Structure 1
Amino acid sequence: MSSTKISYKVGFIGAGNMAKAIGNGILVSETIKAEDIIISAPSDRNLAFWKEKGVRTTHDNAEVITFADIVFIAVKPQYFAGMIEGLKTTKLSVSKPMCFVSIMVGRTVKSVKEVLETVKGISGPFEVIKVMPNTPSMVGTGCSVMVSDKSSVFSSVVRQIMELTGVCEEIPESLMNACGALSGSGPAYLYMVIEALADGGVKLGIPRDLSYRLAAQTMSGAGKMVMESGKHPGVLKDEVCSPGGSTITGVHELEKSGLRAAFMNAITAAAERSEQLGK
Structure 2
Amino acid sequence: MSTQGSSTKNSVSANTSRTRRTKRSRADKTTVRIGFVGAGKLASAIITGLVVHPRDNPNEKPIDPKRIYVSAPTTINTDQLKITFPGIRITKRNIDIFGRFDCDIVFICVPPTVIRNLYKIGGTRPAALTTNYIPNMRHPVYVMSLVFGFSNDQIKECLLNPENPERYTVKFYRTVISHSIAYGVGNCWVDAEPDSKNFPELVRDILCRICRVEYLPENQMDSVCTISGAGLAFCYYFINALADGAVKLGFPRALAIKLASKIASSTSQTVLNTGEGASKLKEDASSPSGGAIFGQLVLDKSEVSSGICAGIEAAYKRSYTLATTGNSD
Task: Determine the structure 2 residue equivalent to 1:105.
Answer: 148
Distance 2:84 2:97 in 1: 14
Secondary structure of the 1:116 match is coil
Q: Which residue of 2 aligns with 1:13?
A: 37
Name the count of aligned residue pairs.
274
Is 1:196 paired with 2:241?
yes
Pairing partner for 1:128 from 168, 172, 186: 172
d(CA) in 2 for partners of 1:93, 1:118: 8
Does 2:69 match 1:38? yes
Match 1:65 to one of 88, 98, 107: 98
- Write out per-residue CA displacement over residues 161-216 of structure 1, whole angstroms, 9 at most, x where no aligned residue: 33333222211111111111212221111111112112222233322222222212
Local SS of the residue matching 1:169: strand
Contact 2:29 2:206 in 1 (8 A): no
Match of 2:176, as an amino acid?
Answer: M
- What TM-score do the two structures reach when normalised by structure 2? 0.72
Alignment pair present for 1:168 and 2:203: no
Aligned alpha-carbon RMSD (Å): 3.1
Q: CA deviation digits over 1:19-50, x for unaligned, max 9? A: 23323333344375544332233314133146
- Higher helix proportion (structure 1 or 2): 1
Give the alignment of 1:241-252 within 5 angstroms. Answer: 241-252=286-297
Give 1:37's aligned amino acid.
I
Query: What is the aligned partner in structure 1 of residue 88 from structure 2?
Result: 55
Q: CA deviation at 1:227?
A: 1.8
Amino acid at match of 1:147: D
Q: Is the Cα–Cα contact under 8 Å of residues 19 and 74 in structure 1 kept in the other structure?
A: yes
Q: Is contact 2:29-2:205 (8 Å) kept? A: no
Q: Tell me which amino acid in the other structure corresponds to 2:135.
A: S
Superposed CA deviations along residues 126-185 of structure 1, whole A, max 9, x for unmatched, are: 222111111111111112222249997554433443333322221111111111121222
Amino acid at match of 2:285: V
**Please, which runs of 5 or more residues in structure 2 have no aligned partner?**
1-27, 55-59, 119-125, 325-329
Equivalent of 1:186 in 209, 215, 231? 231
CA distance in 1, matches of 2:218, 2:129: 28
TM-score (norm 1): 0.83
Query: Aligned partners of 2:322 and 2:190: how far apart in 1?
Result: 19
State whether structure 2 residue 188 is matched by structure 1 residue 144: yes
Alignment partner of 1:93 is 2:156: no
The amino acid of 1:114's aligned partner reads E
Counterpart amino acid of 2:184?
G
**Residue type of the alignment partner of 1:23:** I
Distance in 2 (alpha carbons) for counterparts of 1:61 and 1:275:
25
C-alpha distance in 1 between matches for 2:253 and 2:179: 24
Cα pair distance change 1:49/1:148, threshold 3 Å: farther
CA distance in 2, matches of 1:155, 1:139: 24
Distance in 2 (CA, whole Å) between partners of 1:120 and 1:219 is 53
1:51 deviates by 4.3
- Determine what percentage of the aligned residue pairs are the same residue: 30
Decide which moves more: 267-276 or 185-194.
267-276
Structure 1 gaps, min length 5: none
2:308 to 246, 263, 277: 263
